[in-house]
Chains A and B, each alone.
Chain A
Amino acid sequence: MQITSPAFKRNAHAALGDAELQKALGNVRSGFIDKRLKAVEALPEFDRLRDSARAIKNHALDNLDLYLEAYEEKVRDAGGHVHWAETAADARRIVLDICRAAGAKTVTKGKSMITEEIALNGFLEENGIRPVETDLGEYIIQLRGEHPSHIIAPAVHLTKDQVEADFRRVHGHLPADRDLSEHEALLYEARRVLRPAYFDADVGITGANFLVAETGTSIIVTNEGNGDLTQILPKVHVVVASIEKIVPTLEDAAQILRVLARSATGQEMSVYTTLSTGPRRPGDPDGPEQYHVVLIDNGRSAMLGTEFQDMLRCIRCGACMNHCPVYHAVGGHAYGWVYPGPMGAVLTPSLIGVDKGGHLPNASTFCGRCESVCPMKIPLPKMMRHWREREFERGLNPAVQRSGLKLWAFFARRPRLYGAVTGLVAPLLSAFGRRKGRFTKLPLAGGWTEFRDLPAPQGRTFMQQVARDRRAR
C-alpha cells in the first residue's frame, strides 16, 4: 500500500472535515471502552493476568531463537511445513510459490494484519490469483479498495449507508429492489455471497494470534467463523505469522487469551479460538491436506535487544487505539500505513523507517491511556519519546522537532479536535476516577491547562514543556 504517514497532518486535517468518517468514529468512542471496562471489572485476576502475560512474552522474546527452533520441529513432526521469510518480499514470494504449487486461482483469507503489512493481496492479484477477504469488515474494505483503519475492526471508519451503497454497486446480480436497510440484511448478504468462495478456494490463508512452541500449533481468534472456514475447506492452509507470535506452551497461550478478548472487544472469550496443528490426519473427513507456516521477520529481529523490544509483546488487541483521543478524532487511515493508533505510532517507524514513520510518535496528547489499558503493559508513551530522542541523536532534530511541534500545535489549536479529545478523555477519566475515588467531578472544564494538569502517568513530556514555554511567551 502507498505509505502516507509523512503526510499525517494533512491526513488528519482531511479526516476532521469528513462528516461521514466522524459519524463512524463515534462508534469507536461509544462501543469499545465500556465493554472493555465491564469485562475487566468482572475478572478480579485481570491485572495479575496482565503481569503473567507480560512475563510470558518477555521470556519468549528473550529466548526467541530457541523457541522458534522448538516450534519448527513440532510443526514438522505434525506433518506441516515451515518457511522463513526475512523480508516482506520473501514472504510474498513464498506464499505465491505455495499457491502456484497448489494450482490456485482463488485464495480465501481470514483477517490478518501481517498480510496487510506485507501487501500480499495486491501481489497475488498481479500474479493472477484472486484473494477473497472473508472477514466481514475486511470484505467491505476490499470491495472499496481500501485498507483497514483499525487492527480488529477494519471497517470501523464506515457507516452502514456506505456499506449498503457498496453492496448495491458490487453485488449487481442481486435484485435492485432488495431491502438492505438493516445491519442484518447486509451481514446475511455478505454471508451468502462469500459461502461459495470457501468451496472454490484452493488455498486458505490465515494469520495467527499465537504460535505454540510446545506443540507446533497456530492459534487464531475470531468471532465470525470465517477464519475457520478459510482453513478447513481448501486443500492447502497457509498460516502467515511474524516471529514474535511465539509462546512456549498451551498454558502460556491460555494466560494471554484471557487478556486478549477482554481488552479487544470486552468479550470474555472470542467466539472461536482455534488451535491448528499440521494437516488433516489419516481418517479425517475434513481439513486441509497441506499445512504451511510462513514465519516472517521483516524488522522484528532488529527490535530485539533495543528499547523497542517491549513493543514485540503486542498482541494486536486494539485497546490502545480504542482509548486514544487522537485515533478517535482522526481514525486509522490518517496514520498512513498498516498500523494505526499508539501501537502504530511506535511500530511504524520501526518497520518502515523513521524517514517515513517518524512523524507518528508526535501524534499523541501523552494522556497515557494507551499504556494504562494495554494488556501487555507496553510503555507506549515512553517508546514514542524514545523515537524522538533517536531523532535528536541522529541530528535530524531541528526539523523533526519543528514538525513535531507543529503537529502538536495542530491538535491543540483545533477546537473541534480539541472537543473530540476532551470529549473522550473526560468520561474515561471519570470512569477511572469512580473506581479509584480520585475525581469528584469531571475535569477538563476549560482549556489545555486543565488537560495538562491531569495526573499523567508518564509525567510531563518534552513536547508538553515546549508547548508551555511557547504559550508563556
Chain B
Amino acid sequence: MTGRDAILAKVRQSLGAGDDPARRQAVAERLKAAPQGVIPARGQLPRAERVALFRSMAEKLLASVERVAGYDEVPGRVAAYLRERNLPASVRMGADARLEAMPWAEQKTLELRRGASDGDDAVGVSHAGGGIAETGTLLLTSGPDNPTSINFLTDHHIVVVNAADIEGDLESALAKVRDRYGKGAMPRTVNLISGPSRSGDIEQKLILGAHGPRALHILVVDDQADG
C-alpha cells in the first residue's frame, strides 16, 4: 500500500466513513459554491469611504500612502519619492501594461530596470491587483507584469493601486482573483501585503525591514475612467 492509500484508509477508518454519497456530495457542493462566512461590517462602505479606510488602515501598518489624480502622475511621484530619501534614481519594474503606459520618459534621469529583481534593487515599483480596505492590505499576483521578487528583494517597495480595485473585504478581493484566473485556478503566487516587513523576534521589539522591504509606499490612483 502506498503512503497515500494508507493515510486515506486510516482517515476513513478513524472517521468511520464508508463510501457515503451524501458526504461526497456535501464536499463537492462546498467546493463549488464556496459559501461566504462572516464578513466584517467595517469595510462595507461606499467607494470614497472605502478608499479612505484603506488608506488609514495601511498607514496604521506603517505604510505611507499618497492619493494620485491619474496614472500620468505616477512617474513624477516615484521620482520625488526617490529624491526626498536620497535614493539612487533607479527603479525595478515589471511589464504591467498600466505601468508601461505611464510617461516615464518625462523623468529623464530615472533608470528603469526591467524584469525580476536580482537582489540589488533599492526601489521596486509594482501594480497591485487590488486592495482590501478592512485591513489596508494590497493584493499582488505573480507573473511577468509584476514579478514576485520585486515585492521582497527591494528596500523600498512602491505599489500603485487603482482606487476602483479597492474592495471592502478579503473575500471580495479573492473572488476577483477567481474571476480573473477561472474557478479553481490561481496564479503561481498571490501576495497579500499588509505594511512593510517587520520582526519582533528579539525581545518582542518591533523593527521594520526584517528580510523584505523596510518601506512600503502606496500610490492610490483615482483613475477617472474607472469613476
| Interface residues, chain A, with chain B CB atoms under 8 Å away | 24, 27-28, 30-32, 43-45, 48-49, 52, 56, 59, 62-70, 72, 74, 77-78, 82-86, 90, 134-137, 140, 153-156, 158-160, 163, 183-184, 186-188, 191, 194-195, 199, 213-217, 223-226, 228-229, 232-233, 243, 248-252, 254-255, 257-258, 265, 267-281, 283-287, 295, 297, 301-306
A78–B186 contact, CB under 8 A?
yes
17 CB-based A-B contacts, threshold 8 Å: A30-B204, A43-B42, A49-B37, A65-B17, A70-B27, A84-B4, A136-B202, A195-B119, A225-B197, A226-B211, A250-B178, A277-B186, A281-B142, A285-B144, A286-B147, A286-B149, A304-B11
Residues of B within 8 A of A69 (CB): 8
Closest partner residue, chain A, to B42 (CB atom): A43
Q: Is the CB of A277 within 8 A of B187?
A: yes
Contact for A31 among B35, B116, B136, B204, CB less than 8 A: B204
Write out the residue numbers on chain B whose beta carbons fall within 8 Å of the beta carbon of A65.
Answer: 8, 11-12, 15, 17
Do B210 and A187 touch (CB < 8 A)? yes
Q: How far is the CB of A314 from chain B (nearest CB, A)?
A: 17
- Beyond A62-B15, A269-B194: 4 further Cβ-contacts under 8 Å? A191-B210, A271-B61, A277-B186, A303-B14
Q: Is B41 at the interface (CB under 8 A from chain A)?
A: yes
With an 8 A cutoff between CB atoms, is B98 at the interface?
no
B13 to nearest A CB, angstroms?
Answer: 8
Question: Are the C-beta atoms of A251 and B144 separated by less than 8 Å?
Answer: no
Q: Which residues of A contact B101 (CB under 8 A)?
A: none
List residues of B whose CB falls within 8 A of some A CB.
2-4, 6-8, 10-17, 23-24, 26-27, 30-31, 34-38, 40-42, 57, 61, 94, 115-117, 119, 134-137, 142-144, 147-149, 151-153, 170-171, 174, 178, 184-205, 207, 209-213
Contact check, B40 vs A275: say whether CB atoms are below 8 A apart: no
A residues within 8 A CB of B152?
225, 228-229, 232
What distance in Å separates the Cβ of B5 from its nearest Cβ neighbour in chain A? 8
Complex: chain A residue closest to B191, CB-CB:
A274
**What's the least CB distance linking B63 to chain A, in Å?**
10
| Interface residue from A59, A191, A305 paired with B209 (Cβ < 8 Å) | A191
Report how far A64 CA is from B9 CA in the complex, Å.
11
CA distance A49 to B199 in the complex (A): 27
Q: Is the CB of B202 within 8 A of A214?
A: no
Question: Of A59, A271, A302, which is within 8 A of B194 by CB?
Answer: A271
Please, how many angstroms separate the alpha-carbon atoms of A48 and B205 in the complex? 31
Are the CB atoms of B119 and A301 closer together than 8 Å? Answer: no
Q: CB-CB < 8 A to B212: which residues of A?
A: 224-225, 228-229, 271-272
- B13 contact set on A, CB distance < 8 A: 301
Count of A-B residue pairs with CB < 8 Å: 277
In the bound complex, how far is the Cα of B188 from the Cα of A233, in angstroms?
Answer: 14
Residues of A within 8 A of B16 (CB): 305
> Which residues from chain B contact A278 at a C-beta distance below 8 Å?
188
Which residues of B have CB within 8 Å of A27? 203-204
Pick the residue among B6, B149, B170, B205 that contacts A254 (CB under 8 A).
Answer: B170
Task: Chain A residues near B61: list those with CB within 8 A.
Answer: 271
Asked if A276 and B188 make an inter-chain contact with CB atoms under 8 angstroms apart, the answer reads: yes
Known: A66-B27, A214-B184. A199 touches B204 (CB 8 A): no
Q: Would B37 and A223 count as touching, CB distance under 8 A?
A: no
Complex CA gap A130/B45 in Å reads 51
- Tell me how far the C-beta of B184 lies from the nearest C-beta in chain A, rounded to whole angstroms: 6
Please determine whether A229 and B153 come into contact, CB atoms closer than 8 angstroms: yes
- Are A48 and B38 in contact, with the CB atoms below 8 A? yes
Q: Contacts A68-B11, A215-B186, A277-B188 hold; do A63 and B26 have CB atoms under 8 A apart?
A: yes
Complex: A301 Cα to B184 Cα, angstroms: 27
Whether A191 contacts B40 in the complex (CB less than 8 A), given A86-B3, A136-B199, A275-B190, comes out as no
Residues of A within 8 A of B17 (CB): 63, 65
Q: Which of A45, A272, A295 has the most CB of B within 10 A?
A: A272
Q: Is the CB of B148 within 8 A of A223?
A: no
- Residue in chain B with minimal CB distance to A27: B204
Docked-complex contact B174 and A254, CB < 8 angstroms = yes
Nearest opposing residue in chain B for A225, CB measure: B212
**Which A residues lie within 8 Å of B137 (CB)?**
269, 273
**Which residues on the A side are within 8 Å of B36 (C-beta)?**
251
- Tell me the minimal C-beta distance from A252 to chain B in angstroms: 7
A285 near B201: Cβ-Cβ < 8 Å:
no
Distance of A70 Cα from B6 Cα, bound (Å): 17
Contact of B202 among A78, A183, A194, A252 (CB under 8 A): A183
